[in-house]
């Protein structure tokens, strides 16, 4: 350790760094201090007093404001910094290396020169916080240590709620450099405490150094290194170490009348039902966002939630649809709201089931109903991407195995898409390779409310396209290989909750998904037989009828069953052509390319056999 670094460390901070006995940590700190030029360094260990210091600092700096309910605080991001910045989130690409057209890249040397220039002195006059976390349960072979350097107490506090303490995990490294690290600064702040130079927002991902450099931003998706930024680093690491990092929830399914818990993971693009599936009443949650999956000693698939908290979208959370979460948001506990409206210490958000007041404070500043921004747009009461940050342990439905260092055994994987006229509500893949094919063909249909054009289908393999930082052919090959190493493979399912009739009305209700998930769970245990269709295995009517009656106390007509589980040949062929075109410009694994031919042949053969463009389930029996 150099004398230059020692000048920034008091005795307590110096002792904490020395105790790590890790030259790589020291070198990173030395580099970060010379570049960012902070006023002081505070090293935060796993000690409760250290962690409480960060909470209090967030209030002292004004990055968070206290609310009326004990433990609740509010944070506001810059009005122009309310979501992940895809344009300025770039992978640093070394000369001569290719990753794929889906990845936003910048030449590594050029990118480093730019961001180092922007980071020069960015923490002048500010306190540098050094945090240590564990991505995954402590004392686990799954987990990855992560080091966060930031001058934002809000960022450091948020990570307290979202991740496990990891100072002790760094001690166990015993000098090993196998960890991720992140450097963040909100940059220069204006009078409202917002990033002043958001036009210079940069989030650069350096796969060569397992690090992310993020500046001039505050929104957690851009600033919290351990969130989606660490997801990208872990995807890269997993794809070269033969495991999987996935944008998946982990849930425990508890079938009525049976004394078992079956664990499923699920990947759903935005607005396809991911959170509502993970939070189905009567089931338990291990994680809602990111999972690490490994081949276990007995040849089964095990997974852990890398997080211990939720950074959730708060819009439309209300006591009717989301009673568990709503109760957490309205009772005392440690909780951070972001970008909602506050009035007299009470938060208000879109779709909460209460009328918001005419005035208050929100992400724009002082709010009055009808107020407009600089572009003449009316400012909403709260941002539609407003969030809440809490620990998972605050939820009554948290699974008791969440902190198990061995993870949980996964018996099912769900890939959930969204379309109004093509895919059946639930379908089991024919085998592992076919399941990977289904995941790689995942689509999400937009609505008029979101993009102004209804029916546009966005492709997102495994609901992970925004975060995949390796060539797609390698990512898919790793999924195929992962399954081949398993002695006990999870069954793979696809879901689609959004089929509509000819009048544009949804054919099923929000609660019906519980039946589809329970059918899938039963298939994992051999409880139900299934019909082999050209797209995979679909349920028998009698099994679903009984599930609807016993689980939801509602009838399920044969006519509705036929509508829902009709195989729409023309629509499926159109989808196949769309996806095949997307995958046509890269050299993909032979078995994956062959899956397109096999799927088309199955569809065309069924069309010829039954002389129909729509094949109903009873025709296949």
Where in the sequence numbering do the catalytic residues fall?
272
Closest CA to 405 of 175, 169, 174: 169
Residue with tokens 């096999």: 598
Measured in residues, the chain has a length of 621
Transcribe 138-202 into DSSP letters: TT-TT-EEEEEEES-HHHHHHHHHHSEE-HHHHHHHTT----EEEEEE--SB-TTS-BTTGGG-E
β-pair partners for 309: 391
Per-residue burial over 116-136, b if 16 or more Cβ lie within 10 Å, else e, is eebbeebbeebbbbbbbbbbb
Q: At what angle do helices 432-440 and 590-610 cross, to 10 degrees?
A: 90
Spacing of C-alpha 595 from chain mean position: 28
Q: Give the position of tokens 């030395």.
A: 30
Give the Cα separation of 600 and 608 in Å (integer): 12
Q: State the DSSP H helix or E strand holding residue 367, giving kind and residue range, or none if neither.
A: strand 365-368
Q: Is 215 exposed, middle or buried (0-12, 13-18, 19+ CB in 10 A)?
A: buried
Q: Do 130 and 43 touch, CB atoms closer than 8 A? A: yes
- E-only strand ranges, 460-535: 491-496, 530-533
Nearest to 392 by CA among 484, 286, 279: 286
Residue 381's φ and ψ, nearest 5 degrees, are -55, -50
Q: What is the largest CA-CA distance in the chain?
A: 82
| In contact, 212 and 182? CB cutoff 8 Å | yes
Find out whether 68 and 40 touch, Cβ atoms under 8 Å: no
**In the chain, what are the helix, strand and coil shares in percent, each to the nearest 5?**
35, 25, 40
Strand partners, 251: 264, 285
Which H or E run includes 293?
A: strand 291-295
Alpha-helical segments (H) within 61-107: none
Contact 582, 525 (CB under 8 A): no
Per the DSSP assignment, residues forming a β-bridge with 135 are 144
């Amino acid at each position: 350790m150099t004398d230059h670094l020692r000048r920034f460390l008091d005795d307590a901070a110096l002792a904490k760094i020395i105790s790590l006995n890790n030259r790589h940590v020291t070198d990173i700190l030395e580099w970060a201090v010379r570049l960012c030029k902070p006023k002081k360094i505070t090293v935060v260990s796993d000690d409760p007093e250290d962690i409480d210091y960060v909470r209090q600092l967030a209030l002292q700096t004004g990055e968070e404001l206290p609310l009326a309910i004990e433990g609740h605080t509010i944070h506001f991001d810059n009005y122009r910094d309310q979501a992940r910045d895809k344009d300025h989130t770039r992978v640093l690409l070394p000369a001569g290396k290719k990753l794929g057209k889906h990845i936003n890249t910048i030449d590594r040397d050029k990118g480093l020169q730019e961001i180092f220039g922007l980071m020069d002195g960015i923490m002048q006059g500010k306190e540098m916080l050094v945090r240590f976390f564990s991505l995954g349960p402590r004392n686990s072979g799954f987990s990855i240590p992560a080091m966060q350097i930031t001058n934002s107490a809000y960022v450091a506090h948020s990570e307290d709620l979202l991740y496990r303490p990891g100072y002790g995990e760094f001690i166990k490294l015993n000098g090993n450099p196998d960890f991720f690290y992140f450097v963040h600064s909100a940059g220069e702040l204006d009078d409202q405490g917002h990033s002043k130079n958001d036009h210079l927002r940069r989030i650069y991902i350096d796969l060569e150094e397992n690090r992310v450099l993020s500046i001039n931003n505050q929104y957690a998706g851009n600033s919290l290194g351990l969130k989606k930024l660490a997801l990208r680093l872990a995807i890269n690491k997993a794809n070269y170490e033969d495991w999987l990092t996935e944008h998946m929830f982990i849930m425990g399914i508890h079938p009525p009348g049976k004394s078992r818990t079956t664990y499923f993971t699920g990947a759903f693009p935005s607005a396809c039902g991911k959170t509502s599936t993970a939070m189905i009443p009567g089931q338990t949650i291990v994680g809602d966002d990111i999972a690490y999956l490994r081949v276990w000693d007995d040849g089964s698939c095990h997974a852990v939630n890398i997080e211990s908290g939720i950074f959730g979208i708060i819009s439309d959370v209300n006591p009717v649809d989301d009673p568990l979460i709503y109760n957490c948001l309205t009772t005392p506990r440690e909780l951070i709201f972001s970008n909602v409206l506050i009035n007299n210490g009470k938060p208000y958000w879109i779709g909460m089931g209460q009328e918001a007041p005419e005035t208050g404070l929100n992400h724009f500043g002082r709010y009055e109903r009808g107020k407009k921004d600089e572009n003449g747009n009316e400012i909403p009461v709260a941002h539609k991407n407003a969030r809440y940050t809490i620990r998972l342990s605050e939820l009554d439905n948290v699974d008791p195995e969440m902190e198990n260092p061995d993870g949980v055994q996964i018996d099912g994987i769900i890939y959930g898409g969204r379309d109004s006229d093509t895919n059946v509500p639930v379908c089991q893949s024919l085998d592992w390779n076919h399941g990977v094919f289904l995941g790689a063909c995942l689509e999400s249909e937009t609505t008029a409310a979101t993009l102004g054009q209804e029916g546009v289908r966005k492709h997102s393999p495994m609901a992970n396209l925004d975060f995949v930082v390796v060539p797609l052919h390698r990512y898919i090959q790793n999924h195929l290989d992962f399954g081949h190493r398993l002695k006990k493979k999870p069954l793979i399912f696809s879901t689609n909750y959004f089929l509509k009739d000819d009048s544009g009305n949804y054919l099923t209700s929000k609660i019906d998904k519980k039946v589809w998930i329970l059918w899938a769970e039963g298939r994992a245990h051999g409880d139900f037989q299934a019909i082999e269709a050209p797209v995979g295995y679909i349920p028998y009517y009698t099994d679903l009828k009984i599930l609807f009656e016993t689980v939801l106390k509602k009838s399920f007509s044969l006519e509705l069953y036929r509508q829902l589980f009709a195989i729409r040949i023309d629509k499926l062929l159109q989808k196949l052509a769309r996806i095949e075109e997307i995958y046509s410009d890269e050299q993909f694994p032979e078995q994956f390319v062959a899956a397109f031919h096999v799927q088309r042949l199955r569809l065309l053969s069924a069309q010829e056999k039954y002389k129909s463009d729509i094949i109903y389930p009873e025709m296949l029996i």
